[in-house]
Structure 1
Amino acid sequence: MGSFPGVSLFLLGVTLSLTVSPVQGGKILVFPVDGSHWVNMNLLIQSLHAKGHEVTVVRTATSWYVKEKAPHYSSITVTLPEAVCIEEQDFFVTFLAKILEIQKQGTSFMAVLKFYWEVLGSLSKIYQQASLLGVEIFENKTLMSKIRDSKFDLVLLDPGLPVGVIVAHKLKLPVVFNVKWMTSGDGHFVIAPSPTSYVPTSGNAVSDKMTFSARVKNTFHYFVNTCIDKFIACPPYDKIVEKYLGPDVNFYQLLQGADLWLMRVDFVFEFPRPTMPNIVYIGGFQCKPAEALPSELEEFVESSGEHGFILMSLGTLVNGLPIEITSEIAAAFAQLPQKVVWRHAGERPNNVGNNTLLVKWMPQNDLLGHPKIKAFVAHGGTNGIYESMYHGVPIIGIPLLFDQFENILRMEVRGAAKMVDVTKITQQNFLKVLQEVLINPSYRNNMKRLSALHRDRPMHPLDAAVYWIEFVMRHKGAAHLRTESYKMPWYVYHSVDVISFLLAILFMLTAFVVAVIRFTCLRMCRRRKPKQE
């Protein structure tokens, strides 16, 4: 009798081996976006490679960050007629200089007009250039045959530049988005209900608690974003879709029809809003515990003693601010007892104090996780925001471009950051903000509370991202999670036809009641007249 348990376990093991299919590596085709977006995508690719998946990355010959050769992926390099301007290292420096010059002119009508002219002109150029990747792929029959013969299981792409979704449709492959921003701004606005009464629109730095005037402004921003999307972002892709997929295919519906959205958002940071079943939230998936610093850097931060140190970085896309601004910042840093580690690749500022170390590169995550860190001076990029939140470090925000204003505002509303207007920075006002964040414990306490919330989850977001990508590969899509609302005409989606029908019935009933009442009144009047005579 004592042998039965062993036999049962043996039989159970045999049964499981027969019924559970082994995990096999899939083939994934990746369309990334260069710059800081690649940092996120590359980390995801590394995790997929570690799980045994074969990853192929589509890149351009002029790509800045996406290298042709890497141990964790192979690549397909496409040569475009001209380089996409965001792949040029000096593009964002030049663009930033123009925007700052316009912002200095205030909020006059001409200044606003110049701002939109510059931004929309640059966006139009970027989308026109990036869309040519699709043309080059479709026109190259040898390349298309090679991609088909590779028998990919899935297309993973960053829809910031969404030509990959057109290629995926041509190949009839399921699509997973690694997404935060799209052609119309925040990806939520493409797929999920987005009431402008409490959901801030892209480009409008407000909280979810809006006054009447703020809601008017928010609705106006939504209208502007919709126009930009329809008349500037989508037309180059619409032409490709019509030429290579046919007139019956709608580009915007291709975007909305993605099987799964890996949204780089955490609601500890984002304002609550409606969502959808095929959105998986992976905000902060790049965050990890700090590792040991290089010896020279460790020696510098340790020399800060009880005062600790401040970290400053403006991210991967912006090499530096104009020297008149950086010199004011340097002068303020020089008056602090804290040490400063400043990632700065531009012209050396004037007034750099002995307490400030300028470096061209630094291990940002490891510095943010160091026990002597006191504050983070940042431009408000998503990666830096989440790393700062993960490690519980308060932020002095100097937003420069794009969503950075909204990102810093979200942290400021939660009492974990303080924003500074880059066009109005002086030594005095910047020093005042630094001292407020350093001395007032509420900033650090609030960020520590956000850190505890952010870390308290059943699965690390990077593991969740890999799981759901494998889920889509196993089931060859995730159509059961995708709403069909995107296929509806606008008047059906908003029930305009139903409301019109009900109003018509109400009008007919009202007209009928009025007619009956009028007829009754006239009849009664006719009966009364003979009696009176």
Structure 2
Amino acid sequence: MLHTAYHRSFPALLLPACCKTRVVMAPFGAIPPHSSRPDGLFLLLFTLCVLCGEESHARRILVYPVDGSHWLNMNVLLRELHQRGHALTVIRSSTSWYIPQNAPHFSSITVSLIHASRVEDPGYMAGFLQRNLDLREGSVWAFIVLHWEVLTMLSEAHQSSAEMVRLILENATLVEELRDTRFDLMLTDPGFAGGAVLGRYLGLPMVFNVRWITNADGHFAIAPSPLSYVPTIGSFVSDRMTFANRLKNLLHYGIGVYLDLVLTRPLYQGVCEEFLGPDTNVYQIIQGADLWLMRVDFVFEFPRPTMPNVVYMGGFQCRPAQPLPPELEEFVQSSGEHGVVLMSLGTLLGGLQPQISEVIASAFARLPQKVLWRHLGAKPSTLGNNTLLVDWLPQNDLLGHPKTRAFVTHGGTNGIYEAIYHGVPVLGLPLIFDQMDNMVRMEARGAGITLDVTLLEVDSLTQALRDVLDEQKPYRENMRRMSRLHRDRPIEPLDSGLFWIEYVMRHGGAAHLRTESYRMPWYAYHNLDVLALLLGSAMALLLLISVTCRCLFQRLCRVRKVKQQ
């Protein structure tokens, strides 16, 4: 159930960034405690900021994020936009998992919800991942049960997204406030389409912080995507496909489109028809975005066709390593020349089933390296003296430490890009969603090994770890090469993303970069009407020739008969 109440919170008011100087403005009429009159330097800086050109003018940005790990990426952008002086307003639900109601770098509008979708419940997600591992070891029926739960969970999440945007649009007071604020931009993640629908309703230029849309990789919505060499999510194939791979890829794509048509789009269609008109659908709204900030780097992703309004900023959240806490630094330094192995399966799943943890602990105990393992379950009985269990670890800083030799990961996108950035080879234990697809890409680059976490054995896991750690094997050098390629660019991906966000705001959109193909009916997009005309014309011509030849032949036969008589 949903309520129409909402709450706003505001940070300190910031003036626009100007001449590399940012000023925090005190409340009107306030005077610094050390002076009885405004400081002359303050007035000078204020005047310079006011007189600055259009390019440094602060803008108002409406942000409609997706929760969970998607928010971690979005928040990196928001902090930088705030530092540049832009005013940010974030729309969040009262059941939000990661998105805070009060933050120093944005104001918030909290929409009250009674029941969150299960995707927004960390406890449910942790339990779901555990059930996922249990069912993967079971029968065909267990496989069906697992995928049915995934579909149900995603359907509920999209239902919640659609209902939340309906709630906002039905609130006339809130809509009027949003219009009166005169936002310059909608920044959203189209993994769930509520933000795109609201941005279309308000008539705002839209920028997507995106990798996935409602049913696939974001590229599939706007760019040609030949299935002969562009893998779709869940197919687990690379861009070098055999006939069987191409068949598998085509079937997965077809299933994804079908599920999107019958499960996802109808959930938003009622909102679209009620507030945007009967000829509008959510897929067209997504395709109409001005700019796509794609969290992709082709050092990692397979090459594919793209469009002018796609800006690539894969790895934009990565940063140089910071010093470790003293206790961790002491442990890392104690590893000597052998170095350290890092293991983390993300924020949702801190621990595995006891039998799997025992296997992993046994394999780690056979290594000469020290091991840092983020593990929240019971301590394995086979844990070696070389392994330290922790509740939390600074993943980026550890990956950037010179003694880190390998990374055991579930294959999440953020962790993969951090490993690429720091040049650390990976051993993947993918669990769900896009993690297997990510590890397929790492294996194709020769920078990692993938194992099925439900089929782990001590000997095979130990051998895989030794292979990844072995300097004579190609994994470390391949990952270092990827790191060099990833870092060798004319502009940092975060700076590129920020530039293009401000570009869209300066020019009120970027329609000149956007193809208009999304306005075309499907048959026109594929030129089926043209092909039908040409085919029809050819058939008509052939029919005409056939009829003409038949008439001539019949006439010739009559003439010959007359002559014979």
TM-score w.r.t. length of structure 2:
0.88
- The answer to whether the aligner puts 1:71 opposite 2:104 as a matched pair is yes
- The answer to whether the aligner puts 1:33 opposite 2:56 as a matched pair is no
Q: Distance in 1 between matches of 2:376 and 2:52?
A: 57
Counterpart among 475, 489, 499 of residue 507 in structure 2: 475
Aligned letter for 2:483?
S
Counterpart among 433, 438, 455 of residue 407 in structure 1: 438
Unmatched 5+ stretches in structure 1: 1-16
- 2:138 aligns with 105
Contact 2:351 2:376 (C-alpha < 8 Å) held by counterparts: yes
Counterpart among 123, 134, 139 of residue 165 in structure 2: 134
Aligned letter for 2:58?
G
- The one-character-per-residue Cα deviations of 1:29-74 (angstroms, maximum 9, x if unpaired) are 1111111111110101011011111111111112121111111111
Contact 1:80 1:132 (C-alpha < 8 Å) held by counterparts: no
Contact 1:179 1:262 (C-alpha < 8 Å) held by counterparts: yes
Deviation at 1:149, TM superposition (A): 2.2
Q: Distance in 2 between matches of 1:455 and 1:315?
A: 24
- 1:443 aligns with 475
Unmatched 5+ stretches in structure 2: 1-49
- Over aligned residues, Cα RMSD in angstroms? 1.7
Contact 2:443 2:449 (C-alpha < 8 Å) held by counterparts: yes
Q: Distance in 2 between matches of 1:506 and 1:314?
A: 60
- The answer to whether the aligner puts 1:522 opposite 2:554 as a matched pair is yes
Deviation at 1:19, TM superposition (A): 11
Aligned letter for 2:550?
R
- 2:532 aligns with 500
- 1:452 aligns with 484
- The answer to whether the aligner puts 1:341 opposite 2:363 as a matched pair is no
TM-score w.r.t. length of structure 1:
0.93
Counterpart among 284, 289, 295 of residue 315 in structure 2: 284
Q: Distance in 1 between matches of 2:269 and 2:292?
A: 22
Tell me: CA distance 1:116–1:219, structure 2 relative to 1, closer, same or farther (3 Å). Answer: same
Aligned letter for 2:438?
N
Aligned letter for 1:425?
L
- 2:46 aligns with none
- The one-character-per-residue Cα deviations of 1:233-263 (angstroms, maximum 9, x if unpaired) are 2222111122222323222211110111000
- 1:82 aligns with 115
Aligned letter for 2:503?
F
- The one-character-per-residue Cα deviations of 1:440-499 (angstroms, maximum 9, x if unpaired) are 431001111111111111110000000000001001111111111111111111111110
Counterpart among 253, 256, 261 of residue 284 in structure 2: 253
- The answer to whether the aligner puts 1:178 opposite 2:209 as a matched pair is yes
User: 1:208 aligns to what SS in structure 2?
Assistant: coil
Contact 2:193 2:282 (C-alpha < 8 Å) held by counterparts: no
Aligned letter for 1:449?
R
Aligned letter for 1:189?
F
User: 1:79 aligns to what SS in structure 2?
Assistant: strand
- The answer to whether the aligner puts 1:396 opposite 2:419 as a matched pair is no
Deviation at 1:530, TM superposition (A): 5.0
- 1:239 aligns with 270
Deviation at 1:21, TM superposition (A): 3.5
Deviation at 1:22, TM superposition (A): 5.3
Aligned letter for 1:267?
F
Identity of matched residues, % = 55
Instruction: Within 5 Å, give how 1:112-511 maps onto structure 2.
Output: 112-439=143-470, 440-511=472-543
Q: Distance in 2 between matches of 1:152 and 1:531?
A: 91
Deviation at 1:144, TM superposition (A): 2.1
User: 1:210 aligns to what SS in structure 2?
Assistant: coil
Deviation at 1:508, TM superposition (A): 1.0
User: 2:226 aligns to what SS in structure 1?
Assistant: coil
Aligned letter for 1:383?
N
- 1:46 aligns with 79
Contact 2:119 2:153 (C-alpha < 8 Å) held by counterparts: no
Q: Distance in 2 between matches of 1:22 and 1:429?
A: 57
Q: Distance in 1 between matches of 2:390 and 2:437?
A: 28
- The one-character-per-residue Cα deviations of 1:342-396 (angstroms, maximum 9, x if unpaired) are 1122333332211111112111111111111110000111111111011111010
Deviation at 1:87, TM superposition (A): 2.0
Q: Distance in 1 between matches of 2:62 and 2:316?
A: 21
Deviation at 1:309, TM superposition (A): 0.5
- The one-character-per-residue Cα deviations of 1:393-448 (angstroms, maximum 9, x if unpaired) are 10100000100001001010111000000110121211111111111431001111
- The one-character-per-residue Cα deviations of 1:84-121 (angstroms, maximum 9, x if unpaired) are 22221112211112222221125x4x344323212111
- The one-character-per-residue Cα deviations of 1:153-172 (angstroms, maximum 9, x if unpaired) are 11101111220111112211
Q: Distance in 1 between matches of 2:110 and 2:273?
A: 25
After TM superposition, the structure 1 stretch with the greater mean CA deviation from structure 2, 40-49 or 422-431, is 422-431
Q: Distance in 1 between matches of 2:66 and 2:52?
A: 40
- 1:13 aligns with none
Contact 1:184 1:190 (C-alpha < 8 Å) held by counterparts: no
Q: Distance in 2 between matches of 1:449 and 1:158?
A: 31
Deviation at 1:196, TM superposition (A): 1.0
Q: Distance in 2 between matches of 1:350 and 1:403?
A: 32
- The one-character-per-residue Cα deviations of 1:106-144 (angstroms, maximum 9, x if unpaired) are 5x4x34432321211111111112222112212323322
- The one-character-per-residue Cα deviations of 1:292-340 (angstroms, maximum 9, x if unpaired) are 1111111101100010000111112333322221221111101111001
User: 2:228 aligns to what SS in structure 1?
Assistant: coil
Deviation at 1:229, TM superposition (A): 1.1
- The one-character-per-residue Cα deviations of 1:272-307 (angstroms, maximum 9, x if unpaired) are 111111110110101111111111111101100010
